[in-house]
Structure 1
Amino acid sequence: MTGAAVRELDRMLPHRVHALRRECAVDLTFGGPLDAGGGSVTIRHLDGNLGQTLRHVRVRRGSGLGGKALAQRRPVVVRDYLSTPHIVHAYDHAVAPERVGAVLALPVRLDGDVAGLVYLARRDSLPLGDRTAARAAAAVRSLERDLAIELEVRRRLAEGSSAALRDTRALGDVLSELEAAIELVADQSARQRLHQVCEGLLNFVTGSGRPREPGARGPLSKREVEVLEHVAAGASNNDIAAELGLMPNTVKAYLRSVMRKLGAENRTHAVWLARTSRLID
């Protein structure tokens, strides 16, 4: 696991830990990124905690509920943490003051490896049911997807910067792909921040606006123009994907980018605005 991935997960976790508690309607959520060396996770982020005993606890692989999830690379749940015989009780001194019962530990994975852990817990006698577990798993999958996209965006930005130093026209293609990838990020604040990073890269490299790539029209990239022209012709997302050799979700991402740039409310509105501005025929 790279240091960049761990640092990025650490940055994303405070908001996600807070959202996880709200979405799953539990009493306590917490988590942390993988430590250097990969043998442990340090709890850094908490929401709903009664005190600070869990903060900075270092959960070692194979030890405790989270250590078991870290070792097995899968979620692990117990109905009563302090009395369960199936885990090593190395962290009871930190857990007991929080008065939790049912606890679920979920690994956050990236490319098959564990990048960190998140937990959710209840303080009453009720178990964490299947619906809660499913919501938690979906939230972690969203986090994993956003983490992968953000790291890919950063990698492409670095590549784009190097390419732009050689040929500024190459930057247009790179940033077009990046903007489509950014639109797949679920978290709104992360999307806005990544768009700002793209604009900052443009300003740094060119000193002005986006380099005009061949086929670009106004604020739209060549690929965005192609997608919007197919929409104007009545094609579905699946038809556009097949025609242009893209995934349907990538087509959706391009359309979201187009609507953001044009200030459109929907795809029909985007076509009308583009035609009015003579961005498409």
Structure 2
Amino acid sequence: MLSAPDGLLRPDDGDAYRQALRLLRDRSGLPVIFGGQVLDGNLTLAQFLGVRTSGLRGLRVAPGTGLGGRVLAAARPMTLNDYGTAGSITHDYDTPVLAEGIRAVTAVPVTVQGAVRGVLYAADRGPDPLGGRAQSLLADTAHRLAAELSVRDEVDRRLRLARTLPAAPADPRLTEELRALHAELRGIAQDAADPALRARLQSAARRLTTLTSPQDPPPPNPLSPRELDVLSQVALGCTNAEAADRLSLHPETVKAYLRSAMRKLDAHTRHEAVVSARRRGILP
């Protein structure tokens, strides 16, 4: 975990880049894969698989320079069949790139909300250009990584919003917003590929329940995470179909989770289950 300037504990985004590169290697079998994040306006290369030298490690690439800098500035993918002779880029970084033996290379931006947050590269030392499949897999990996970073950004935004809410909101509208925030945090958690981030989201959702129903000590929670996810959507007035759509579940699966939650809470109706959960401090 990294501590942000505002005190939020955000998982190290470098871990997400490393996971993305490992996935790409397993899917593509490409010999050289690397990438990095945009920090202070420059691209810093920090994650590598298949490299033989250390020349690229920590390399800072300015916008518009080299292949990565061109991708950063244009916010679009770019492919070179022979890096050493390419006339479409500057050659500021030839020494470390050519020392690695790289010839064919593709670079793809990791774009979140219109901003390039990083660049991923796939390269080969052989004379043949990278095929369309390799380029497609690289683009798909960048897209998946961008989605993960977007989830992390939304988590931070939601946690900042939660901090602005009063400890015991008296206004019913604030209470309803808090409940909607709780349900959305649990929904976002299901989209998080990083287990640590998912656990952090679920923990944040649990903390929100204490703002409207403080308990010391809290009673045990008999519900499974998925049962609580479903019940949090039901508490917002969602139908089974709506809850299924929000949680990417089948409607029959939602019904099964809801029946199980009702049984554990000794409730005979959906409404009773929600009331019981709020009394126990399980829901806000």
Q: TM-score, normalised by structure 2?
A: 0.73
Partner Cα separation in structure 2 for residue 48 and residue 197 of structure 1:
38
- Show the counterpart of 2:274: none
- Show the counterpart of 2:246: 250
- Show the counterpart of 2:222: none
Q: Which of 15, 18, 26 in structure 1 is aligned with 2:22?
A: 18
- Show the counterpart of 2:103: 101
RMSD value, Cα: 3.7
SS at match of 2:56: coil
SS at match of 1:125: coil
Q: Which of 31, 36, 41 in structure 2 is aligned with 1:32?
A: 36
SS at match of 1:118: strand
Q: CA deviation at 1:188?
A: 4.3
- Show the counterpart of 1:274: 261
Q: Which has the higher helix share?
A: 1
1:174 equivalenced with 2:178 (yes/no):
no
Kindly report which structure 2 residues correspond to 1:188-227, keeping only aligned pairs within 5 A, or say none: 188-199=195-206, 206=214, 209=218, 219=228, 223-225=232-234
Cα pair distance change 1:220/1:130, threshold 3 Å = closer
- Consecutive unaligned residues of structure 2, counting only runs of 5 or more, are 220-226, 271-284
Q: CA deviation at 1:56?
A: 0.9
1:175 maps to amino acid: H
Partner Cα separation in structure 2 for residue 171 and residue 226 of structure 1:
12
1:20 maps to amino acid: L
- In the alignment, is the contact (CA less than 8 A) between 1:35 and 1:42 conserved in 2? yes
Cα pair distance change 1:12/1:131, threshold 3 Å = same
Partner Cα separation in structure 2 for residue 45 and residue 52 of structure 1:
11
Percentage identity across paired residues of the two chains: 27
Cα pair distance change 1:126/1:133, threshold 3 Å = same
2:27 maps to amino acid: E
Cα pair distance change 1:227/1:156, threshold 3 Å = closer
Cα pair distance change 1:198/1:64, threshold 3 Å = same
- In the alignment, is the contact (CA less than 8 A) between 1:157 and 1:198 conserved in 2? no
2:22 maps to amino acid: H
SS at match of 2:107: strand
SS at match of 1:14: helix
- Show the counterpart of 1:136: 138
Alignment deviations for residues 222-250 of structure 1 (CA, whole Å, 9 cap, x no partner): 5423699844xxxxx4xx37xxxxxx752
Partner Cα separation in structure 2 for residue 228 and residue 127 of structure 1:
55
Q: CA deviation at 1:89?
A: 1.2
The structure number with the bigger radius of gyration is 2
Cα pair distance change 1:118/1:209, threshold 3 Å = farther
2:180 maps to amino acid: D
- Show the counterpart of 2:115: 113
Cα pair distance change 1:266/1:221, threshold 3 Å = closer
- Consecutive unaligned residues of structure 1, counting only runs of 5 or more, are 211-217, 232-236, 242-247, 259-264
SS at match of 2:33: strand
- Show the counterpart of 1:63: 65
2:39 maps to amino acid: D
Partner Cα separation in structure 2 for residue 275 and residue 166 of structure 1:
27
Partner Cα separation in structure 2 for residue 3 and residue 23 of structure 1:
37
- Show the counterpart of 2:88: 86
